[in-house]
Amino acid sequence: MTLPRLQHHHAGPALRLAGGGCLALAIALGAVPASAQQPGSGARTPTVGQADRSMRVAPRPSRTVVPAASETRFVPDEILFELAPNVLAETVLRRYGATLIASRRIELAGTTIIRARLEAGRDLRAVLAQMADDSAIAGAQPNFTYELQQELAQTVSTASGGQRSADMPTLRLSDPTAVRAAPAPSRDLPMQYVVDKLRLLDVHKLSRGATVRVAVIDSGVDIGHPELRGAVAGHFDALSEEFVPHAHGTAMAAAMVAQGQLQGVAPASRLLVARAFSGRASSASASGTSLHILAAIEWAVGQGARVINLSFAGPEDRLLSRGLAAVAARGVIAVAAAGNGGPTAAPLFPGADPSVIAVTATDADDRIFPRANRGSYIALAAPGVDVLAAEPQGRYAFSSGTSIAAAHVSGLVALVLEKRPDLDPAGVRRLLMDSAVDLGAKGRDQVYGAGRIDAAAALARAVPLTASRP
């Protein structure tokens, strides 16, 4: 199957942002001060002499991100920048010794982003520091990288009811032997504890997520997997490389909508699949960049997604944050993995972004996943340890981490929205947190958030309001 790809808009003789409307947009976003940049406004840039005569001029707010020396999660020779009005891209590229890779208008972020490659020997931090004082630049940052947040473990034959051994080692994401083929499991095996933990058989009598579009921004999804047949409403590829079905994306998609021998949380919802992460088929690891993720999110919103699953983590990113704020303003609920950095790790994004619902992972006994992040940004917990998951080529494997926990919450959001399509992100967050099973310290805490999701309780809060309408 041929998947649509992200179109790379290469500059012609000159790439220019139009004035007028784009100028107003840049001013509204705070990228360009109105008094300093608008021709004919009566405000002029002072000369050196004027400045020396004690005329104090407010500095132009910096929209440039220079990563700390310890920050390495970015493409080392690439920058993303935005032009001030009426500035030619070729002028800026020549000034900083860079070559255009692509440009793309991202409406969610309200800007055109230019992706460029620095010449060999050019230091990214030095270039960004120079751009911070350049009036031709409305904003600049690295092309940050993000990693998927999941671990996969071996499976054993289920032909005779076999289960995963309690002492079977959990394999790291980067281990290419982490996924092994296994016969399809029976629905009633106890290893599928998520069905009982979330009371899905009862919940699905009330809601199955019908008509709700759920997007997964991830690695390549095997849309031909038996668990996903007929569930995919659209697909998008932000990468200009060969499409490869991948373990992580396939597992996340099935956790939400599986309808074969596994039971997805929202099996009747319509899945929008967007590949923004590149990884080998033989490995569970994959990475994605700021621009590819933004492009995938914008496509999903354009396709009518009400829920967007973001099971990855990385550094704070001003462009991604602007996009997520716009997503929330459109009433779309973004759910993100809290991260697998461990109890002492710094906050990971987009989970720590205020525009998303951050999810941590618990096991069959409601114990926290040992490698889950902690922090005040965590909203909810969900099953995410030793979860039986779909893998490419009709395979299955156990999966652990905040990734699949986030996918379970995304599915629950779809169930709620089927009954309450009027709910906005704040309303959905409140409903899920108020109905959660409190774990750990009394009340919301930095380990479990408000507690482990309770699908039945959440639907009970949504359904009566629907039923009472005329």
Active site residues: 218, 248, 403
Contacts of 185 (CB under 8 A, 6+ apart): 158, 191, 192, 261, 262, 388, 396
The C-alpha atoms of residue 270 and residue 211 are separated, in whole angstroms, by 7
Cβ atoms of 215 and 274 closer than 8 Å:
yes
Instruction: Please list the residues that pair with 360 across neighbouring strands.
Output: 381
Task: For the chain, give the longest Cα–Cα distance.
Answer: 88
Q: Report how far residue 271's alpha carbon sits from residue 254's, in angstroms, rounded to the nearest whole number.
A: 10
Number of helices (H), then strands (E), belonging to the chain: the values are 13, 18
Name the amino acid, one letter, at 30: G
- Token pair in block for residue 246: 């991948």
Q: Which two tokens stand for residue 304?
A: 């009518």
* DSSP element (H, E) containing 390: strand 387-391
Give me the DSSP letters along 254-270: HHHH--SSS--SSTTSE
Q: Which of 2, 1, 5 is nearest to 274 (CA)?
A: 5
8 A C-beta contact, residue 454 and residue 438? no
In contact, 354 and 132? CB cutoff 8 Å: no
Cβ atoms of 118 and 96 within 8 Å: the answer is yes
Query: What CA dihedral angle connects 338, 191, 222 and 239, to 10 degrees?
Result: 20
Alpha-helical segments (H) within 151-222: 193-197, 200-203
